[in-house]
């Protein structure tokens, strides 16, 4: 799981997910609200991404 205080390079994170080396990524955000806002932004930018939240954690998987 990625650290809350870490500045994130979303392009690199999604590229790692797309590489097929991992099937799911969990990223702890600062709050449930920031997780929800980030989920919406990620869904708008990447159409092959399935994003959900559990509290302050983003859960990323590939769609399809």
pLDDT, position 38: 95
CA distances from 19 to 31, 32, 61 (A): 28, 28, 12
Yes or no: say if 24 and 50 are a contact pair by the CB < 8 Å rule. Answer: no
Give the confidence band of 20 by pLDDT, cuts at 50, 70, 90: confident
Q: Show me where the domains of the chain are located.
A: 10-62
Contact 9, 21 (CB under 8 A): no
Segment 6-15 mean pLDDT:
89
DSSP string, 2-40: B-TTSPP-HHHHHHHHHTTS-SEEEEE-SSHHHHHHHHH
- pLDDT value for 3: 53
Tokens of 64: 């399809």
């Amino acid at each position: 799981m990625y650290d809350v205080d870490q500045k994130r390079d979303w392009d690199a994170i999604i590229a790692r997910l797309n590489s097929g080396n991992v099937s799911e990524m969990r990223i702890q955000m600062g709050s449930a609200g920031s997780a929800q806002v980030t989920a919406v932004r990620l869904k708008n930018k990447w159409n092959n991404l399935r994003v959900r939240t559990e509290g302050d954690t983003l859960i990323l998987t590939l769609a399809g």
